[in-house]
A and B are shown apart, each in its own frame.
Chain A
Amino acid sequence: MKKKGVGIGSTFYGTGYGNGFPDVSRAKAVLKEDGKVAVHVGATEVGQGSKTIMSQMAAEVMSIPLNDIIFICEDTKNMPDSGTAAASRQTYNTGNAIKLACEDLRKKVIENAFKELKLNSSVGLTLKNGEIYLKTLPSKNISLKELALCLLKNKELPLIGEGSFTAQTIEMDEETGQGAPYWPYTFNVYGVIVEVDTETGLIDIIKAVCAQDVGKAINPEMIEGQMDGGFAMGLGYSIYEDLGLKEGKMKNKNFTNYLIPTALDVPELEKFIIEDPESTGPFGAKGIGEPVMLGVAPAVLNAIYDAVGVRITQVPVTPDRLLRALKEERRE
């Protein structure tokens, strides 16, 4: 018999290394001779999209097109240490460092522009759409490209902005665990409707909904991508992935028998991006890389209970495990 059930899984997640460990990101923003800006940062692009959203942050501060940001994050020879691409910390930590570095460069650009424009002060000068101009007299202007050429001629390139950000984290008391270990906290809620086949033990996800707190979305498309990926990984954790570990040996160590969800196993995910800016985050943003997968497994387990009235306390809920639990329930 096929039985339907609904379940909720809600979670929170503290960003960063935590517990007082120095959590530092560094960044450098460099004005190039063609007016483009190179961002040097040790934040690894592992597929999560850091290169894109951090380029967006830099482009926003420098007020230049996204294509004019050259993002360099591949070589220890030419990038500062920005910590590990983990703990959902890059958007928040390194994002802040990049924002600071670009703000520093922006200030230096304006200072140099007022000299080139032969004004007596930088007051009222702004940088927008690649142009530095006087707000009260826009005809007093110079483009970033022109400025870069002037600086090159005067041997004043490269112009470098620097930024460093250290997250707030406080070591907890050893006996009571009291303290402020992480910041910020990010919230995630999943809801799923499952269909359980009580004869085969197979579980189908009929519908899935995700609400993800992001602080502020730097790129909604990428957040939605993370939600899809997080859901698939969480689903694998809930009902498929099993190493077949016995006496320290993995039986399942390739994709023939270590099953991960395929596109056919994953339903269309209804997504809600919840914005509530975090004042210490870059543009209000928080990291979401890990949070997006946390609520899936509990939602599936609660939905299984709603469908068949049996609490499964162990993941993955393989057909075997589910049928055994149903049998035990009947016996009782």
Chain B
Amino acid sequence: MKREIVGKRAIRVDGHSKVLGKAEYPQDIQKQSMYHGKTLRSKKPHAYFKLNIDKAKNLKGVIAILTAKDVPYNHHGVLFKDHEIFCTNKVRRVGDPIAFVVAENEKIAKQAVEFIEIEYDEIPGVFDPIKAMEQSAPIVHKESNILYHYKIRKGNIENAFKQCEVIVENEYRTGMVDHAFLQPESGIAYMDENTVVVCASSQYPHFDQIEIAEALNIPTENVRVINPAIGGAFGGREDITLQIHIALATKLVGKPVKTTYSREESFLAHGKRHSMIMKYKTGANRQGKLVAMEANIIGDTGAYASWAPNVLRKAGVHATGPYEIPNVKVDSYAVYTNNPFAGAMRGFGAAQGPIAYEQQIDEIGRKLSIDPITIRKINGFKVGSETATGQILEASVPYIQCIESVGKALGLEQKEGIR
């Protein structure tokens, strides 16, 4: 069917304002007689603490200092409410928010944060997810550090591996990374009669609205979230950061309150991509057809759960790569440590696996003297293929077409030149 607009190279509707610097980002918003906020964050990865705000409170120009006792419901989180808005007496990671200073200007707010006296009583932390899974490991929350386990059991891998011509085994590791979006977090909150208005960049304003209302213990309809222009997100703006802090502050002091993170604070405030340790065993027959695969994947979610179960589930579902494999065993785990917390980031658990499964298939091909394009064409998904979870790919499966396009552009098609 002929389309008039769909399929056309239309110019970005928000492009002009962004190129000309006219788009309004949260940091651009100014309100008359607004106050500035600054967050005190933990410098220790695992510790109990005591706080003394007296000296900071008496600093000229300080309006208020918010701590755990100022929060009606001191919990938030996208899946489990395991984050405290301000830590009560224990920190679980470097960067955990402890207090929020509201002052006449940014300079005073910063100074007051330094005047807050904090006494840490450090306790042993755990930073290696494999160690965190052991019974004797320091516990980050309550009970076990293992927060989620996903399993695939398809076919019979023991029998299948016995029939393989080649088997490749390896362990792969990926580190935590930051979204590094252009615009560090910034936000301003103010009262509009009974309504708390929060302007801050978010990937999901309706969810922020719910979390702000819960923390402040006010009806959802009394919270309005305005999402100005957003300088990138990549998953890093799914977990709430400063929104509740400024909402609490404006409700308490009655005037607009604004805060803007530096790049360093941005790194401390939002989640990271899960680091993963991935043990793979992959087997194929003489023709290069994959027969069996076993994967053990451990994802480090750091101090908080955020989306970890969903991320490690996605990692497990995608563990085979885009290949038909009749016998599959996958175990993926999400584990708490005292590292920075991990959450949503572009790929959401499907970004780490390719580093393993794509090297595995190249190795299989190399051992059988089959080139990388051919080995992928032998095993790649096509219409009618069944995934490791038993799902039928019934339409729109142009994997082979993608492989052929790349192979051709690189001059690899039908050649056996590369290892």
Residues of A that sit less than 8 Å from B by CB = 5-14, 17-19, 42, 44-47, 49, 51-52, 55-57, 59-60, 63, 66, 71, 73-77, 81, 83-87, 172, 174-182, 184-185, 187-191, 193, 207, 209-213, 215-222, 230, 233, 236-237, 241-243, 245, 247-250, 253-255, 258, 260, 270, 272, 274-279, 281, 283-284, 286, 289-290, 293-295, 297-299, 301-302, 305-306, 309, 311, 313-316
Given contacts A8-B373, A311-B363, 19 further A-B pairs with CB under 8 A are: A7-B372, A11-B354, A51-B13, A52-B14, A71-B13, A76-B206, A179-B391, A187-B322, A191-B412, A213-B399, A215-B396, A217-B7, A242-B175, A248-B340, A249-B94, A250-B340, A253-B178, A297-B355, A313-B359
Q: Which of B170, B230, B346 is within 8 Å of A44, CB to CB?
A: B230
Decide: A178 and B205 in contact? CB cutoff 8 A: no
Say yes or no: A286-B389 contact (C-beta < 8 A), given A187-B402, A213-B402, A313-B170. Answer: no
Decide: B395 and A46 in contact? CB cutoff 8 A: no
Decide: A12 and B175 in contact? CB cutoff 8 A: no
Stretch of B53-61, B64-72, B248-256, B263-271 that contacts chain A: B263-271
A174 to B309, CA, bound (A): 13
B379-419 Cβ-contact flags toward A at 8 Å (1 or 0): 01100000111110101111101110111011010000011
Decide: B381 and A187 in contact? CB cutoff 8 A: yes
A256 to B153, CA, bound (A): 46
Decide: A211 and B405 in contact? CB cutoff 8 A: yes
Decide: B358 and A247 in contact? CB cutoff 8 A: no
B189-202 Cβ-contact flags toward A at 8 Å (1 or 0): 00000000000011
Q: Is B326 an interface residue (CB 8 A)?
A: no
Decide: A314 and B173 in contact? CB cutoff 8 A: yes
Q: Is B127 an interface residue (CB 8 A)?
A: yes
Decide: B401 and A274 in contact? CB cutoff 8 A: yes
B136-161 Cβ-contact flags toward A at 8 Å (1 or 0): 00000000000000111110000000
The closest CB in chain A to the CB of B15 belongs to: A52
Ranked 4 nearest A-B pairs via Cβ: A248-B45, A298-B358, A177-B152, A253-B267
Stretch of B102-110, B113-121, B234-242, B285-293 that contacts chain A: B234-242
A199 to B228, CA, bound (A): 48
Decide: A184 and B391 in contact? CB cutoff 8 A: no
Q: Is B76 an interface residue (CB 8 A)?
A: no
A24 to B350, CA, bound (A): 22
Decide: B359 and A83 in contact? CB cutoff 8 A: no
Decide: A81 and B206 in contact? CB cutoff 8 A: yes
The closest CB in chain B to the CB of A246 belongs to: B127
Stretch of B29-37, B80-88, B311-319 that contacts chain A: B311-319
Q: Is B258 an interface residue (CB 8 A)?
A: no
Decide: A51 and B14 in contact? CB cutoff 8 A: yes
The closest CB in chain B to the CB of A283 belongs to: B6
The closest CB in chain A to the CB of B182 belongs to: A47
Decide: A211 and B340 in contact? CB cutoff 8 A: no
The closest CB in chain B to the CB of A219 belongs to: B10
The closest CB in chain B to the CB of A21 belongs to: B310
Q: Which of B4, B227, B358 is within 8 Å of A63, CB to CB?
A: B4
Report A-chain residues with C-beta under 8 Å of the C-beta of B174.
Answer: 237, 314-315
A75 to B227, CA, bound (A): 6
Report A-chain residues with C-beta under 8 Å of the C-beta of B27.
Answer: none
Interface residues on B, range: 35 or more
A49 to B13, CA, bound (A): 8
Report B-chain residues with C-beta under 8 Å of the C-beta of A47.
Answer: 230-233
Q: Which of A83, A181, A254 is within 8 Å of B317, CB to CB?
A: A181
Report B-chain residues with C-beta under 8 Å of the C-beta of A44.
Answer: 202-205, 227, 230, 233
Q: Which of B223, B224, B226, B346 is within 8 Å of A233, CB to CB?
A: B346
Decide: B359 and A254 in contact? CB cutoff 8 A: no
Decide: B398 and A74 in contact? CB cutoff 8 A: no
Q: Is B164 an interface residue (CB 8 A)?
A: no
Q: Which of B223, B321, B409 is within 8 Å of A12, CB to CB?
A: B321
Decide: B9 and A178 in contact? CB cutoff 8 A: no
The closest CB in chain B to the CB of A316 belongs to: B175
Decide: A177 and B389 in contact? CB cutoff 8 A: yes
Q: Is B39 an interface residue (CB 8 A)?
A: no
Report A-chain residues with C-beta under 8 Å of the C-beta of B347.
Answer: 13, 290, 293-294
Report A-chain residues with C-beta under 8 Å of the C-beta of B390.
Answer: 178-180
- Would you give 29 A-B contacts (Cβ < 8 Å), ordered by A? A6-B412, A8-B373, A11-B358, A13-B350, A18-B314, A46-B201, A46-B232, A49-B12, A52-B12, A52-B15, A60-B6, A66-B13, A71-B13, A76-B223, A83-B204, A84-B204, A86-B235, A174-B151, A179-B390, A182-B317, A213-B396, A242-B175, A243-B267, A253-B178, A295-B354, A301-B358, A302-B372, A305-B419, A306-B418
Q: Is B38 an interface residue (CB 8 A)?
A: no
Report A-chain residues with C-beta under 8 Å of the C-beta of B231.
Answer: 47
Decide: A276 and B362 in contact? CB cutoff 8 A: no
A319 → B minimal CB distance (Å): 15
Decide: B398 and A187 in contact? CB cutoff 8 A: yes
Say yes or no: A294-B351 contact (C-beta < 8 A), given A55-B13, A253-B263, A302-B362. Answer: yes
A316 to B176, CA, bound (A): 10
A330 to B5, CA, bound (A): 58
Q: Which of B7, B94, B203, B354 is within 8 Å of A46, CB to CB?
A: B203
